[in-house]
Structure 1
C-alpha cells in the first residue's frame, strides 16, 4: 500500500509517499480501506512547529478518515466486512474523563495516522456511519463536527432560544452554526468578508459581524442580544480573540475553548476574565460516545458539511498547503481510494 509520512519537520516538502506492506488485522482489530481523509489545523501546525506539544517525525499524519472494513480480526463481533466507518479522533477515549495517555496516543504524535490506503486499527476505535453519508462528508466528522457538538453540549447543553457565538468559517465554526440552529439556538457569527458573511447567513446565522471592520465585535455581539450577552461561545481563536469573547459572554455563561487559530501572543487580562463571570471549558474534541452522538445529529438534522476543497491522494502536499493558507471556508479533504461516489 501507499502511505504518507513526515520524514522530517520544517515544512510540507518533507511529506513523502512510502510503499509499505498492506496491514493485517490482529485479534480485536479491523483493516479499513481508507476512502477519504480530512485535515485539521493540528495537521499543519505539527510539521511547521506551531503546535504547543512536542512531536516526533516519521509518523503517518492525520486523524480523520472514512472508509470501509475489508478485514476483521479474531474476536471482533461488532463490525463486519463491508461496514462503512469513520475514525475516532481519540482512539482510546471511550467515555468519562480523558485517560492520562490521551495526548500520547494521538494520531500523528504517538501512533501512525490515517493518510494511507489501508489502516489496521482496534475495532473500538472506529464508528459505523449510515449508508447515505458519503465518505467525503463523513471524514469531516471525527474532529470538527464532534468538537462543535461537544462545545454545544457538555454539562449544560445549549437550549432553544439561547445565543451562540461562533468565530470565522473554519470547520468547527461552521458545524457549530449548523448544529446550534438544529438545536433551536440563535447564532451570531464573525467573519472577514462579505462573501463569507453571505455563506453564514445562508446557513442560518441570525447575525454576522465583520471583525475587520468592527474590532469591538464582542460588544456588538452583546448589543445584538439586547445587552444580556451570549450564552455559549465556540472560541477557536485563542489569545487574540479571548478579550472580545469575554466582552460578549453573559454572566455565568460558558466559553468553550477549542484552539489557537489566531496565533497571537496576546495575554489574557485576569481582571477582565474575573469581571466577565465566564465559565471556561477546554474542549478536547470528545470521546467515542460524543462521536456517535455527532453522527446521529448530523444524520437526523440532514446537516451537509461544508467542503472547501478536495484533493486526490497524489496531491496531498497541496492539500496541506491549502489548509495552511488560512483563507478557506470549511474542510480540506483528500480522496484516498479510487472508489466512485465518494
Structure 2
C-alpha cells in the first residue's frame, strides 16, 4: 500500500513515497476506507515543516475522504459503498470541548490520510455531503468545520448580521460562503485585486486592502456606519487582533482560530474591555457538529472552492504552493 511519509528532520524535502502493509479487514466497530482525496491546511504545513514536531515516519494530512470497502461487526451507521469523510478530533464525538491538543489528530499525533487505505473506528468518520467528490468532502474536515463552528455554533450567526473575514484562505472562503448562505453581510480583507474579484463573485459585500489601509479595523467599522461588525473570524493572531477589536461592535464576537502572524503577542486589553466583546479561541469541532454541517451543506447547495489539485506524489509541491500564499480557498490532493 502506498503512503506519503514525513522523515526526520521534518521539511518538504523529506516528504517521501513509501510502502506499508495493507491494513486488512476491519475489526468490530471499524470500517475500511479506500481514500481518494484530501486537502491541506496551515496545521498540516506546520507539521510538514517541523513547527509542530511529530514522530519520524508520520503519515501527514488531517483531512481524508473516500469509499467504504468493508465494515466490521456491529457497524450500522455505514454500508459498503458509502462516501465518508474523516473527523479532525476522532475522539470528540459530541458536547463541549474536552480536547486541547493534537495528540490524537490525524497527520499530527497519529498517522493521517496521505495513504490509499485506512482501517479506523467508524466513529472517526461521518458521511460526506451528497454530490461532493473526495477532495471537496475532505475540505470540510478542518477548514470548513472551523468556519461553521466559529460563525454558527459559537457565534450564533443569523440573517442580517455583519461578518469580517481576514484573507482568502480555506477557512475565510468557507466562512464567506456560509455567511452569505445564511443571509449575512460580509467584509473581507486581502492585498490582491484578483482575489477581491473572486470574493465578490462569491457574494462579498465590502473588500479592503490591508496593505494600503493599515488601519483597516476602523475602516471596517466605518463601513457599518460606526457600529462595528457582529462577528470577526480572526485567522491572523497577534499581528491582526488589535485591528479586529477595532472592527467589532460593542458586545460582538471574535473567533480566534489562527496564528498566521505568530503564536504570541500583546492583547489590547483595554480596547477589548471597552468593546465588551467575546474573544473565543477554538480548534475545529466535534463529530456531531460535523454532521450538522454536512446537513447544512446539503440544504444550501454550497460547494467548496478548490483552487488547485495535486497528485498524492506531489504533496511537497502542494505545500510549497500553500507557502507562496497564492491560493484562494482550498488546495486539494487527489488520487
What TM-score results when the alignment is normalised by the length of structure 2? 0.96
CA contact (8 A) 1:240 1:264 kept: no
Q: Which residue of the partner structure matches residue 340 of structure 1? A: none
Residue 5 (structure 1) aligned with residue 5 (structure 2): yes
Partners of 1:11 and 1:47 within 8 A in 2: yes
The answer to whether the aligner puts 1:94 opposite 2:90 as a matched pair is no
Answer yes or no: is the 8 Å Cα contact 2:4–2:16 preserved in 1: yes
Pair 1:312–1:155, CA change in 2 (3 A): closer
Cα distance in structure 2, aligned partners of 1:212 and 1:193? 10
Q: Within 5 Å, which residues of 2 pair with 1:41-52?
A: 41-51=42-52
1:256 aligns with 2:262: no
Matched, 1:195 2:155: no
| Residues 92 and 102 in structure 1, CA contact (< 8 A), matched pair in contact too | no
The CA distance in 2 between the partners of 1:101 and 1:120, in whole Å, is 25
Q: Is 1:18 the equivalent of 2:29?
A: no
Q: Deviations over 1:6-29 (max 9, x none)?
A: 111341111111111111212111
3-state DSSP of counterpart to 1:240: coil
- Over the aligned positions, Cα root-mean-square deviation in angstroms equals 1.5
Answer whether contact 2:33 2:68 (CA < 8 A) is retained.
yes
1:206 alignment counterpart: 205
Q: How far is the alpha carbon of 1:328 from its aligned partner?
A: 1.4
Between the aligned partners of 1:55 and 1:8, the Cα distance in structure 2 is 9
Does the 8 Å CA contact 1:240/1:265 hold for their aligned counterparts? no
Q: Distance in 2 between matches of 1:118 and 1:68?
A: 10
Relative to structure 1, is the Cα distance of residues 101 and 269 closer, same or farther in structure 2, using a 3 angstrom cutoff?
Answer: closer
> Which residue pairs with 1:28 in the alignment?
29
Deviates more, 1:319-328 or 1:187-196: 319-328
Question: Any unmatched runs of 5+ in structure 1?
Answer: 337-342
1:335 aligned residue: 334
Distance in 2 (alpha carbons) for counterparts of 1:49 and 1:111: 15
CA distance change for structure 1 residues 264 and 282 in 2, over 3 Å: closer, same or farther?
A: closer
C-alpha displacement of 1:136: 2.1
2:157 is matched with which residue?
158
Alpha-carbon shift at residue 276 of structure 1 (Å)? 2.7
Give a deviation string over 1:299-340, Cα, whole Å, max 9, x none.
22111211111011221221121112222111111112xxxx
Deviations 1:173-230 (A, max 9, x none): 0010110011111101111111111111111011011111111110000001111100
Provide, for residues 128-172 of structure 1, a one-character-per-residue CA deviation record: whole Å limited to 9, x for no partner: 124411222111111111111001123441111110000100010
Equivalent residue pairs, number: 334
Structure-2 residue corresponding to 1:289: 288
Aligned to 1:301: 300
1:253-312 CA distance string (max 9 Å, x none): 110011111238642222232223211111211101111121122222111211111011
Q: Distance in 2 between matches of 1:217 and 1:29?
A: 49
Superposed CA deviations along residues 53-92 of structure 1, whole A, max 9, x for unmatched, are x533321111111100012112212111101000011111
Q: Which residue of the partner structure matches residue 182 of structure 1? A: 181
Contact 1:86 1:138 in 2 (8 A): yes
What is the match of residue 40 of structure 2?
Answer: 39
Instruction: Give the SS at the match of 1:181.
Output: helix
**Unmatched segments (≥5 aa) in structure 2:** none
C-alpha separation in 1, matches of 2:156 and 2:9: 40
Mapped to 2, the partners of 1:109 and 1:129 lie a distance apart of 23
Aligned residue for 1:152, secondary structure, equals: helix
SS of 1:5 mapped into structure 2: strand
**Whole-angstrom CA distance in 2 between matches of 1:330 and 1:6:** 25
Quote the residue 2:322 is aligned against.
323
Aligned partners of 2:151 and 2:192: how far apart in 1?
25
Q: In the TM superposition, what whole-angstrom CA distance separates every residue of 1:25-63 from its partner, at most 9, and x where no partner exists? A: 121111110010110111111232334xx5333211111
Alignment of 1:130-141 (within 5 A): 130-141=129-140
Q: Give the TM-score, by structure 1 length.
A: 0.94
Q: Distance in 2 between matches of 1:3 and 1:259?
A: 29
What SS class does the counterpart of residue 119 from structure 2 fall into?
strand
